[in-house]
Amino acid sequence: MNIMGSCGKVSAERFIFRKEYFGALLYDKANWGLKMLNKNEAAAFLSEKKAGVRIFSAPNKGFLSAPLKAFVSISASCNLNCGHCMISKKRTQTEEIDFDGLKSVFEQLGRMGMLEIRLGGYEPTARKDFEKIFEEAKKNGLTISINTNGVCSDDLRKRLAESCVDRVHVSLDGLEKNHDIIRGKGSFAKAIDTIHMLKEKGKYVRIVTCLYRENLKDIKGLVALAENLGCDIKFSPIAKLGSAEHMGGLLTKEECEALKKRFDSMKGTVNIFFNYGTMSSDFIDYCDISDFDSTICGAGRTQLRVENNGEVIMAGCGDLLSDIKPLGTYKDSFPDMWKKSQLVMAGLMKKNGPKCASCGMDSVFAAWLLKPTPAFNFAREQKDV
């Protein structure tokens, strides 16, 4: 079957089947559903020879055959100057990977069987050729998501809404007063206009909110706003990184744990997520395999990151540790860098203690797939496909 959209004809297969050491992963690009199969279920699925399935049959021993997701920076400019930006000081590269370079990245990751590409950097829509970039990613069978501040001109807003992006995460750091303090006067209203147009065009939109003490009072109002707009919403504490390194009002680990309990008790008509497990080295010891509702252990084991300067690094905990060296550059072999990432992570897990070192991806997925999650299929129901 063909998946059609504003990009025209794209990758023909709806499903991605990836053989893994524990069995397989089955991904449905139509609803971003991810299902874990044991070895018997994987063999049974393959024996049926279903149509519309792209099969990858090169498992690795003890780790995933490919990343689930890669974060790729495509833009080195932004129309805002937010005081809590984690990129502004940590990642000061001013160059951008050209289109041919990005095309090579997408082709390699697509051939590996990766599922999702998160395109960002500073503000991805600041890149003049962002629609062309989206189309190239889609040609390689990748689900496309972006983070945006949503502060757009009418023309840019229309271009984004009519592009082939699958998921758009729009930043709202509080209700209007607090948001505009952080991001500039009028930015809240423009972001809301962008959300409205995206929803009118049938796009999935998630509101993302960075929390610190000043905007905690807006949580209830933001959830109500998300429900009114028909958007899921994710809250994360501001990390002590980049511009926020010396920012006041950042939340402590104890405050985050209290918020976690608060969010767990909240009920709503949209999905409400809270994620702080890998946001900062202050929380590096936070890990509970039964609590992967907001994130999955991504430290080099499920994700990679490609920076504006072309360096490829481990994503998750791995890109928060300053002593972790790049795995290579976007011109190198991604399968080789992926294997290297696993070796680096194995050493870190051993260093972090027996709890971390004994953690296998099969047990991580078994726990993670039981709960709603910001990644892939948000309902997290084990539907037959």
Per-residue 3-state assignment (H helix, E strand, C coil) for the chain: CCCEECCEECCCCCEEEEEECCEEEEEECCCCEEEEEEHHHHHHHHHHCCCCEEEECCCCCCCCCCCCEEEEEEECCCCCCCCCCCCCCCCCCCCCCCHHHHHHHHHHHHHHCCCEEEEEECCHHHCCCHHHHHHHHHHCCCEEEEEECCCCCHHHHHHHHCCCCCEEEEECCCCHHHHHHHHCCCHHHHHHHHHHHHHHCCCEEEEEEEECHHHHHHHHHHHHHHHHHCCEEEEEECCCCHHHHHCCCCCCHHHHHHHHHHHHHCCCCCCEEECCCCCCHHHCCCCCHHHCCCCCCCCCCCEEEECCCCEEEECHHHHHCCCCCCCEECCCCHHHHHHHHHHHHHHHHHHHCHHHHCCCHHHHHHHHCCCCCCCCCCCCCCCCC
Provide the whole-model pTM.
Answer: 0.90
- Residue 251 tokens read as 């939340």
Which domains, and CATH codes, for the chain?
A: 4-56 (no CATH), 69-368 (3.20.20.70)
Tell me the pLDDT tens digit for each residue of 80-127: 888 787 765 545 567 899 999 999 999 999 999 999 999 998 899 999
> Is there a contact between 74 and 130 (Cβ–Cβ < 8 Å)?
yes
Q: What is the pLDDT of residue 127?
A: 94
Q: What is the pLDDT of residue 157?
A: 97
Q: Could you tell me which of 58, 88, 77, 109 has the C-alpha nearest to residue 306?
A: 109
CA 238/CA 333 separation, integer angstroms: 34
Residue 75's CB: how many other CB atoms inside 10 A?
21
Q: What is the pLDDT of residue 4?
A: 38
Q: What is the pLDDT of residue 292?
A: 52
Residues in Cβ contact with 2 at an 8 Å cutoff, skipping those fewer than 6 apart: 9, 10, 12
Q: What is the pLDDT of residue 384?
A: 43
> Over its length of 385 residues, how does the chain's per-residue pLDDT go in tens digits?
333 345 655 567 899 999 999 999 999 998 888 889 999 999 999 888 778 999 999 999 989 999 999 999 999 989 888 878 776 554 556 789 999 999 999 999 999 999 999 999 889 999 999 999 999 999 999 999 999 999 999 999 999 999 999 999 999 999 999 999 999 999 999 999 999 999 999 999 999 999 999 999 999 999 999 999 999 999 988 877 777 777 888 888 888 888 988 988 888 898 888 876 544 455 445 555 555 555 566 667 888 999 988 999 987 654 555 567 899 999 999 999 999 998 888 887 777 666 677 777 787 777 777 665 655 554 444 444 4
Torsion angle, CA of 122/125/129/134, rounded to 10 degrees?
100
Q: What is the pLDDT of residue 296?
A: 62
Q: Which residue has the tokens 């095309």?
A: 103
Q: Could you tell me which of 123, 89, 86, 84 has the C-alpha nearest to residue 215?
A: 84
> Is there a contact between 309 and 90 (Cβ–Cβ < 8 Å)?
no
Q: What is the pLDDT of residue 161?
A: 98
Q: What is the pLDDT of residue 383?
A: 41
Q: What is the length of the chain?
A: 385
Q: Could you tell me which of 140, 146, 145 has the C-alpha nearest to residue 114?
A: 140
CA 21/CA 25 separation, integer angstroms: 10
Q: What is the pLDDT of residue 291?
A: 53
